[in-house]
Amino acid sequence: MRKYKTVEVSEAVLEDLMRQSPELIEPELKYVDHQAFTTRGPLDVLLVDSGHSLVVAELKVVEDDGMLLQGLDYYDYVLRNLEGFVRAYQHHKIDPEQEPRLFLIAPSFSVTLLNRIKWIRIPISLFTFQCLKFDEEKDEIVPIYKEVSPPQILPVIEAYSLDDRFNYITDSKMRSIAHKLVDEIKLLDSTGILIEPTKYDISIKITGRVFAYLAPRRKHFMIYTNDAEGKWTGYPVNNEKDIEPVMTLARTNFEKAGGKLK
C-alpha cells in the first residue's frame, strides 16, 4: 500500500491541480480558464461539464462562509454575460441554452453555509477536498474531492417534468439506471408513492412526506435519504451495484414515513 500524508496547499496550487485533473471532481469535467476577469474581481476557475454547461468554481483552502456570497456574485456576472463567455471560449463548445452551474470547493463547510444553501435556486454543488502527498513521489500531490449533501431542499410550487430531470443525465446507461431505481421504489406502493419533479431534483413521497430525493448529475446521480442513524445523507449512484444499498435505506425510510410494504 502506498504511504501518503495529508498536506495543505495554497489556492494557487489548488487551482493548478484542478486545471490538471478536473475529471476528479466530476467525470468528463473540463478546464476552461482561471482568474478570468469580472467586475466583481477575478473568478477562481471556469469549467465546462459533459452537458456543455459552463461551471463557475469558487475555491477556498479554509472553511469560509463568505465564499457562498462571493460565488453567487461571480455566478451572477457570468449568467448576465454568458454570450460573451461562449464567444470567448468557442473551442470549449459551451451551450448558451444550458444554465451555468456553481461549484463551491473547500476543505469543509459550516452548518451556517449548509443551511443557507437550501434557499439557493440555482444549480449548485458542494465539494470538500483533501490533498495527499505520496512518500515515493516527493512532488506528486493528488486532490481527493467528495460531494457534500446539502440540507433537504424546500419544495417550490412550479411546473417541471420528470423527463427534464432524467434527461439532465447525459450518460444514457446512468439515465436508464435512474429510471430503474425510481421504478423499483414505485413498486413499494404503486398507488401511494408520489414521484414529482422539482426544479433540479425528483422528490419521492409517501403520505405527503418526502423520504428520498433523486438528484441528477451529468454522469451519475445522487440519492438523498436518511441513513441508519436518521441523518439526511447523499449517496452517489455510479453503477447498478450502487442501487441495492440505496434501496435498503429507501424501504426503511418508506416505512418510517408511513408506508406499508406489500
User: Is residue 199 within 8 Å of residue 183, measured between CB atoms?
Assistant: no
> Which sequence spans correspond to the domains of the chain?
4-147, 162-256
User: Is residue 33 within 8 Å of residue 89, measured between CB atoms?
Assistant: yes
**C-beta neighbour count of 127 within 10 angstroms:** 19
Q: What is the CATH number of domain 4-147?
A: 3.40.1350.10
Average pLDDT, the chain: 91
203 has a pLDDT exceeding 60: yes
Greater pLDDT, 3 or 13: 13
Record: fold of 162-256: 3.30.720
Write out the DSSP string of the chain: ---EEEE---HHHHHHHHHH-GGGTSTT-EEEEEEE--TT--EEEEEE-TT--EEEEEE-SS--THHHHHHHHHHHHHHHTHHHHHHHTGGGT--TTSPPEEEEEES---HHHHHHHTT--S-EEEEEEEEEEETT-TT-EEEEEEEPPPPPPPP------HHHHHHT---HHHHHHHHHHHHHHHTT-TTTEEEEE-SSSEEEEETTEEEEEEEE-SS-EEEEEE-TTS-EEEEEE-SGGGHHHHHHHHHHHHHHTT----
232 has a pLDDT exceeding 60: yes
Q: Give the model's pLDDT for residue 134.
A: 79
Question: Which pLDDT tens digit goes with each residue over 157-202?
Answer: 667 899 999 999 999 999 999 999 999 999 999 889 999 999 899 9
The answer for residues whose C-beta is within 8 angstroms of residue 61's C-beta and 6 or more apart is 8, 9, 10, 11, 14, 106, 107
Q: Give the model's pLDDT for residue 137.
A: 64
Cα–Cα dist 72/208, whole Å? 33
Q: Give the model's pLDDT for residue 154.
A: 58
Q: What percent of the chain has pLDDT over 90?
A: 78
User: Is residue 71 within 8 Å of residue 58, measured between CB atoms?
Assistant: yes
Mean pLDDT of 239-249: 95
CA atoms lying within 13 Å on the CB side of residue 212? 26
Q: Give the model's pLDDT for residue 155.
A: 59
pLDDT-wise least confident of 45-49, 103-107, 120-124, 156-160: 156-160
Where residue 118 falls among pLDDT bands split at 50, 70, 90? confident
The answer for residues whose C-beta is within 8 angstroms of residue 97's C-beta and 6 or more apart is none
User: Is residue 220 within 8 Å of residue 207, measured between CB atoms?
Assistant: no
152 has a pLDDT exceeding 90: no
Greater pLDDT, 137 or 67: 67
Q: Give the model's pLDDT for residue 136.
A: 67
**pTM of the full structure:** 0.70
